[in-house]
């Protein structure tokens, strides 16, 4: 097993606000069109948004092992492609055309219906009426500080960039063993069977190097995504994670110390037996959110609620100002260059 890379000079981080996501998948499509439209990458979604509580992508996403428990690696598996959802070959005419049966399940050209795919549980939700609920969960590679993927590679094909902590795969060194994909507890590594190599989110590092925010951040109409270096103590990410403590890691029990953080969902109150709001209970079971975001979730939600109430009374709230992001450029940290402007500059070489 390879040894972990040293701590980088600074760490790229992202914060996703689950209270603002529309589930529109603009982020997923922005990533798909930019990075994964080549042969062998058809079924890759380096960025994916799933409805929770749902099984996620791949199916039953958090049950495939990997990561660490008590400091020791947990054996993991790499689910088969069908559990991620293959790239379907839709028969539009058979599904929706004049002879189509307006099938509830879309049909492929071989007459079969797909059985699983990205965000398969879209808007299904959980809970029992009137306590139904759902929220959207965005996932990319979290550039973990204790990257189980990197540590599992016998070829040292994965490396952590010294300048920003981004984890990359050296495609020349990769032999396609998929130990990294087994070891990632978030299942954020894909396999390109055309090229027999592992591939994953690269945090849009070529854009970052040009001062441009990642495509998923820039294309998000919900102003959900904040990007920055954690060392910037005046930045959104630092303030949300360390000052206000409302941005939490996903499944911290996996032990990989991810550098993507989530503002947990603040759901409406549950109802009491008289059909009135019970202000002591959320509609989302506390245990579920704690399993997802760790023991800090209760305090984080209490802080968000208190600051919302302050703001509603007309009092200033730094936290609400950060989360609302009235000027969307404030989400971008130091990566405020407009890619369209860069394209207009004469190309070198």
The nearer residue to ligand SF4, 44 or 224, going by C-beta atoms, is 224
Quick one: which of 13, 14, 15, 27 contacts ligand SF4 (CB under 6 A)? 27
Residues 6+ apart with CB under 8 A from 273: none
Q: Which of 31, 15, 14, 11 is nearest to 161 (CA)?
A: 11
Choices 3-11, 19-27, 115-123, 125-133; region in contact with ligand SF4 by CB under 6 A: 19-27
Assess 207 for contact with ligand SF4 (CB under 6 A).
no
Q: Which of 227, 259, 262, 236 is nearest to 248 (CA)?
A: 262
State the minimum distance, in angstroms, from the CB of residue 34 to ligand SF4. 14
The site for ligand SF4, by CB under 6 A, has a size of 30
User: What is the three-class DSSP state of 170?
Assistant: coil
**DSSP state, residue 6:** P
The nearer residue to ligand SF4, 107 or 158, going by C-beta atoms, is 158
Assess 200 for contact with ligand SF4 (CB under 6 A).
yes
User: Other CB atoms closer than 10 Å to residue 115's CB: what's the count?
Assistant: 12
| Cα–Cα distance measured from residue 47 to residue 32, given in angstroms and rounded to the nearest whole number | 8
State the minimum distance, in angstroms, from the CB of residue 48 to ligand SF4. 9
**Encoding tokens for residue 324?**
């609302």
Assess 15 for contact with ligand SF4 (CB under 6 A).
no
The nearer residue to ligand SF4, 9 or 103, going by C-beta atoms, is 9
Quick one: which of 41, 148, 250, 301 contacts ligand SF4 (CB under 6 A)? 148
Question: Strands, E, within 157-259: which ranges?
Answer: 158-160, 167-169, 189-192, 197-200, 225-229, 248-249
State the minimum distance, in angstroms, from the CB of residue 257 to ligand SF4. 9
The nearer residue to ligand SF4, 126 or 147, going by C-beta atoms, is 147
The nearer residue to ligand SF4, 256 or 282, going by C-beta atoms, is 256
Site pattern 163..192 for ligand SF4 (x: CB under 6 A): ----x----------------x-x-xx---
Q: Which of 50, 16, 47 is nearest to 30 (CA)?
A: 47
Distances (CA, A) of 152 to 3, 65, 180, 182, 203: 9, 13, 6, 9, 21
- Cβ-in-10-Å burial (0-12, 13-18, 19+) of 16 comes to buried
Quick one: which of 18, 41, 49, 292 contacts ligand SF4 (CB under 6 A)? 49
Assess 144 for contact with ligand SF4 (CB under 6 A).
yes
Handedness of CA 83, 84, 90, 94 (dihedral sign): positive
Place of tokens 């704690």: 290
Assess 83 for contact with ligand SF4 (CB under 6 A).
no
Residue numbers of the site for ligand SF4 (CB under 6 A)?
21-27, 49, 136, 138, 141-144, 147-149, 167, 184, 186, 188-189, 200, 220-222, 224-225, 256, 258
């Amino acid at each position: 097993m390879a040894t972990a890379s040293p701590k980088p000079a600074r760490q790229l981080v992202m914060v996703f606000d689950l209270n603002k996501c529309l589930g529109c998948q603009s982020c997923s499509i922005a990533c798909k069109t930019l990075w994964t439209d080549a042969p062998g990458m058809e079924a890759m979604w380096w960025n994916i948004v799933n409805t929770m509580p749902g099984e996620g992508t791949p199916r039953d996403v958090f049950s495939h092992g990997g990561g660490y428990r008590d400091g020791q690696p947990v054996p993991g598996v790499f689910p088969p492609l069908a559990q991620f959802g293959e790239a379907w070959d839709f028969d539009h005419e058979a599904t929706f055309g004049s002879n189509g049966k307006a099938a509830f399940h879309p049909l492929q050209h071989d007459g079969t219906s797909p059985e699983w795919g990205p965000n398969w549980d879209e808007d299904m939700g959980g809970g029992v009426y009137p306590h139904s609920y759902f929220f959207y969960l965005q996932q990319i590679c979290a550039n973990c500080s204790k990257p189980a993927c990197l540590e599992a590679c016998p070829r040292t094909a994965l490396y952590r960039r010294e300048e920003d902590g981004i984890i990359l795969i050296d495609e020349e060194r990769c032999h396609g063993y998929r130990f990294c994909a087994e070891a990632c507890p978030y299942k954020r590594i894909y396999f390109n069977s055309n090229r027999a190599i592992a591939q994953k989110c690269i945090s849009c590092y070529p854009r970052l190097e040009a001062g441009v925010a990642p495509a998923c951040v820039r294309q998000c109409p919900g102003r959900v995504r904040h990007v920055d270096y954690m060392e910037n103590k005046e930045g959104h990410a630092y303030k949300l994670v360390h000052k206000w403590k409302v941005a939490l890691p996903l499944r911290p029990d996996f032990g990989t110390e991810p550098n993507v953080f989530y503002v947990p969902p603040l759901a409406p109150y549950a109802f009491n037996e008289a059909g009135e709001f019970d202000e002591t209970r959320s509609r989302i079971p506390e245990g579920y959110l704690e399993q997802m975001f760790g023991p800090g979730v209760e305090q984080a939600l209490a802080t968000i609620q208190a600051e919302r109430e302050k703001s509603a009374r007309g009092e200033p709230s730094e936290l609400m100002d950060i989360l609302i992001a009235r000027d969307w450029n404030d989400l971008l940290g130091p990566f405020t260059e407009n890619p369209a402007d860069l394209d207009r500059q004469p190309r070198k070489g």
